[in-house]
A and B are shown apart, each in its own frame.
Chain A
Amino acid sequence: MADITVNNETILDFTKQLKAQNDMFPVLSILNNNGDIVDEEALKRADLSDDDLINIMKRMLLSRQLNIRSTKLAKQGRFGFFAPTAGQEASQMASSYAFNHDDWLMPGYRDIPQIVAKGWPIWKAILWSRGHALGNEFTTEEGEPVNSWMPQIIIGAQYVEATGIALGLKKRQKDAVAYAYTGEGGSSQGDFYEAINFAGAYKANAVFFVQNNGYAISTPRALQTAAPHLAAKGWAAGVPSVVVDGNDPLAVYLVAKEARAWAVSGNGPVLIETLTNRLEAHSTAGDDPLRYRKQEDIDAWWKKEPLIRMRQFMTEKSIWDEDKENAYISEVNTLIDEQIKIADKVDKQKISNFIKNTLEVPGYAMKEQIAKFESEGK
Chain B
Amino acid sequence: MAVKSYIDAIREAMDLALEKDKDVLIFGEDVGENGGVFRATDGLQAKHGEDRVFNTPLAESGIGGLAIGLTTQNYRPIMEIQFFGFLFEVMDSIAGQMARNRFRFNNTRNFPIVVRSPYGGGTKTPEMHADNLEGIVAQVPGIRVVMPANPADAKGLLLSSIESNDPVVFLENLHLYRSVKGEVPEGYYTTPLDTAAIVREGKDLSIISYGGGVPVAVKAADELAKQDIEAEVLDLRTVSPLDIEAIGQTIQKTGRVVVVQEAQRMAGIGANVMAEISERFILSLKAPIGRVAAPDSVYPFGQAENDWMIKADDIVAKALEVVNYD
A368: nearest chain-B partner, CB-CB: B244
Binds A, one of B104-112, B216-224, B257-265, B313-321: B104-112
Dominant SS at the A interface? helix
Partner of A198, one of B51, B57, B96, B165: B57
- Which residue from chain B places its CB closest to the CB of A206 in the assembled complex? B69
> How many residues of chain B are within 8 Å of chain A by beta carbon?
44
Select which of B51, B62, B165, B166 is within 8 A of A171 by beta carbon: B51
Binding site for B on A (CB under 8 A): 104, 133-134, 136-139, 147, 150, 154, 157, 159-169, 171-172, 174, 178, 190-191, 194-195, 197-198, 201, 353-354, 356-366
Across the interface, do A160 and B141 meet the contact criterion of CB distance under 8 Å?
no
Q: Which residues of A contact B141 (CB under 8 A)?
A: 358
Known: A194-B61, A358-B102, A358-B141. 12 other contacts (CB 8 A): A137-B108, A147-B72, A150-B104, A161-B69, A162-B69, A163-B65, A171-B75, A172-B73, A190-B61, A197-B59, A198-B62, A360-B164
* Bound form: Cα–Cα A190–B59 in Å: 9
Check if B110 sits within 8 Å of A360, measured CB to CB: yes
B61, B194, B240 — which one has the most chain A CB atoms within 10 A of its CB?
Answer: B61
Q: In the complex where A171-B51, A365-B241, A365-B244 touch, is A178 in contact with B69 (Cβ < 8 A)?
A: yes
Do residues A359 and B69 form an inter-chain contact, with CB atoms below 8 A? no
Distance to closest chain B CB from A84 (angstroms): 24
Chain B residue nearest to A366 (CB atoms) is B241
**9 CB-based A-B contacts, threshold 8 Å:** A154-B92, A157-B93, A160-B62, A160-B64, A163-B65, A165-B70, A165-B73, A166-B69, A365-B241
Q: Which residues of B contact A195 (CB under 8 A)?
A: 62, 65
Contact across chains for A191 and B61 when beta carbons are under 8 A apart: yes
- Residue interface mask B69-112, A partner, CB < 8 A = 1: 11111010000000000000000110011000011111110100
Query: Does B107 contact A356, Cβ atoms closer than 8 Å?
Result: yes
Tell me how far the C-beta of A150 lies from the nearest C-beta in chain B, rounded to whole angstroms.
6
Pick from A163, A354, A363 the residue with the most CB of B within 10 Å: A363
- B159 adjacent to chain A (CB < 8 Å): no
Which chain B residue shows the least CB distance to A174? B73
In the bound complex, CA of A197 to CA of B193 (Å): 36
Nearest-neighbour CB distance to chain B for A191, whole angstroms, equals: 6
**Contact call B65/A160, Cβ cutoff below 8 A:** yes
CB-defined contacts of A194 to chain B, threshold 8 Å: 57, 59, 61-62, 65
The 6 closest A-B pairs by CB, nearest first: A164-B69, A363-B241, A160-B65, A168-B73, A194-B62, A165-B69
Q: B30-74: which residues lie under 8 A (CB-CB) from chain A?
A: 51, 56-57, 59, 61-62, 64-73
Contact at A358–B142, with CB atoms within 8 Å?
yes
Partner of A164, one of B70, B108, B142, B166: B70
A233 CA to B108 CA in the complex, in Å? 36
B11 at the interface (CB under 8 A from A): no
CB-based contact B194/A363 at 8 Å: yes
B194, A361: Cβ atoms under 8 Å? yes
Chain A residues with CB below 8 A from B65, complex form: 157, 159-164, 191, 194-195, 198
Q: A157-B97, A364-B244, A365-B244 are in contact. Are A104 and B61 (CB under 8 A)?
A: no
Whole-angstrom distance between the alpha carbons of A365 and B244 in the complex? 8
Q: How far is the CA of A147 from the CA of B69 in the complex (A)?
A: 12
Given A356-B107, A357-B107, are A198 and B66 also a contact pair (CB < 8 Å)? yes
Q: Are B69 and A358 in contact (CB under 8 A)?
A: no
B243 interface hit (Cβ, 8 Å): yes
Question: Roughly how many angstroms separate A36 CA and B73 CA in the complex, as a whole number?
Answer: 43
Asked if A133 and B106 make an inter-chain contact with CB atoms under 8 angstroms apart, the answer reads: yes
Q: Chain B: which residue is nearest A189 at the CB level?
A: B61
CB distance from A89 to the nearest CB of B (A): 28
Distance A321 CA – B63 CA, assembled complex (angstroms): 50
A160 x B108 contact (CB < 8 A): no
Are A168 and B69 CB-contacts (below 8 A) given A154-B96, A163-B62, A191-B61?
yes
Do residues A359 and B73 form an inter-chain contact, with CB atoms below 8 A? no
Chain B 153-189 interface mask (CB, 8 Å, partner A; 1/0): 0000000000011100000000000000000000000
Question: Which residues 229-246 of B have a CB within 8 angstroms of A?
Answer: 240-245
